[in-house]
Amino acid sequence: MNIKRFVQDTAEWEAERIIMKRYRCPHCLAPGTLISHGRLYGYQFRNHSNRVLRGFRLFCSNRYRRKGCGRTFSVWLAWKLYRSLLNAMDVWRFICGLLDGQAPQTIARHMMINTSNASAYRLCARLKRAQFGLRTILQGLSSVSAIHRSLPWPWLLPYDHLRQLHPDDAIQWLQYQFQKSFFLPSTGTA
Ligand SMILES: [Zn+2]
């Protein structure tokens, strides 16, 4: 059994902790070696002085004759995005704005997430790269119907499909449902 890489909230994490010994280490696959190794905090763009819980750290124990590999990895809260101060809901709102034909800078300004043009376009570039992982996921979901409509950029097409499938907070849903990082297509060690 594989340990979850994304959980919805602290309560779900606490439930996972109780049965942690059943899981194998994602690095070395040793069973029963994982132990809790603290919490991960970070800052959010709206309030840099406000520390928020973002995830949990695990250690594959090689101490006291345990046969683990000594490496650590993280289990994230599902709203947390890899290497981003924006949360999943912010990015989803940004994507919906693009799908509705708004300019990246206009959306960013309305959301008060960042006023620089460069940041809004950097986010677009990340989304453009992330579409490849998204396409792979969508291929496995037969319920997506192809609706032909004009989009500002062709790479938005998988996002349009995603919105049909899951109109609300789809990025968080995606990370949790598929246990995959949206901005990092693999389940990697980050
Ligand atoms: Zn290990």
Span from the CA of 108 to the centroid of ligand 1 (angstroms): 41
Q: Domain locations in the chain?
A: 6-77, 88-178
Per-position pLDDT tens, the chain of length 190:
789 999 999 999 999 999 999 999 999 999 999 999 999 998 876 666 788 899 999 999 998 888 899 999 999 999 999 888 889 999 999 999 999 999 999 998 888 766 677 788 889 999 999 998 898 888 877 666 666 678 888 999 999 999 999 999 999 999 999 999 999 744 444 3
Span from the CA of 59 to the centroid of ligand 1 (angstroms): 8
DSSP secondary structure, the chain, as one string: -BPPSEESSHHHHHHHHHTGGGSBPTTT--BT-EEEEEEEEEEETTEEEEEEEEEEEEEE--STT------EEEEEETTB-TT-SSBHHHHHHHHHHHHTT--HHHHHHHHTS---HHHHHHHHHHHHHHHHHHHHHHHT-TT--------SSGGGHHHHHHHHH--SSHHHHHHHHHT--SSSSS----
Span from the CA of 29 to the centroid of ligand 1 (angstroms): 6
Full-model pTM: 0.85
